[in-house]
A and B are shown apart, each in its own frame.
Chain A
Amino acid sequence: DIQMTQSPSSLSASVGDRVIITCRASQSINNYLNWYQQKPGKVPKLLIYSVSSLKSGVPSRFSGSGSGTDFTLTISSLQPEDFATYYCQQTYRTMTFGQGTRLEIK
């Protein structure tokens, strides 16, 4: 199985900050890397698919990059509604999620 490791596991930041979350795969996963946002009590929401493609309707302050085994999710200027947990997901070999990164208000 392909393991996905996110860092950090939690992060405190302020509105307006630039935030970077990283995700590392245990082997190369080509471009089969997606990012989801989940707020407490809510269903996960797709933000980015195939490393860097922004889902329609997702604000442009979200962006993704990377290749091979190392990927990043960047939020360019944090907004109050961005405080949530973020998950990376590989679908190169079935499906695996990272453990999540909890983004909290500083």
Chain B
Amino acid sequence: QVQLVESGGGLVKPGGSLRLSCIGSGIDFSDDYMTWIRQAPGKGLEYISYISSASTNINYAESVKGRFTISRDNAENSLYLQMNSLRGEDTAVYYCARMVHDNCWFVDLWGQGTLVTVSS
């Protein structure tokens, strides 16, 4: 079954850390570019970060640069997001997603999301 499954969300205090994981199945994970996208409650979609298939290209949104780190383990079909120095505005559902290129880049597969709540 083709799917992405996130885990690791939860309640964390401001300034705290959390590590999200995403496992891909039914896909050629090691060939795929992957991305993290978040959605604050009642708000729109926000790009966070992407990582190329061999981890040679990595990019972050300005809002998380220096605080979040994306990584992957292709042997484990796993994508990670290490989140440090968390703030209230980081509260959101975090989606793991696959990027595909066909004339342009787009997201064709999303996980179900994991909720991160930053609150004291």
Interface set of A (CB-CB < 8 Å, partner B): 1, 30-34, 36, 38, 43-44, 46, 49-50, 53, 55, 87, 89, 91-92, 94-100
Contacts and interface: CB of A to CB of B under 8 A. Distances in A.
Contact of B102 (A36, A50, A95, A96): A50
Given A46-B107, A49-B104, A89-B45, 18 more contacts: A31-B104, A33-B104, A34-B104, A36-B107, A38-B45, A43-B111, A44-B95, A46-B106, A50-B104, A50-B106, A53-B102, A53-B103, A55-B108, A87-B44, A89-B107, A91-B104, A94-B50, A95-B35
Nearest to A98: B44
Contacts of B59: 94
Interface residues of B, number: 23
B5 to A, nearest CB: 12
Given A1-B62, A43-B95, A43-B112, A91 B44 contact: no
B44 A100 contact: yes
Interface in B57-72: 59, 61-62
Contacts of A49: 102-104, 106
Nearest to B107: A46
20 contacts: A31-B104, A32-B105, A34-B104, A43-B95, A43-B110, A43-B113, A46-B108, A49-B102, A49-B104, A87-B44, A91-B99, A91-B104, A91-B106, A95-B37, A95-B47, A95-B50, A96-B47, A97-B46, A97-B47, A100-B44
B28 to A, nearest CB: 18
B31 to A, nearest CB: 18
Interface of B: 35, 37, 44-47, 50, 59, 61-62, 95, 99, 102-108, 110-113
A87 B45 CA distance: 8
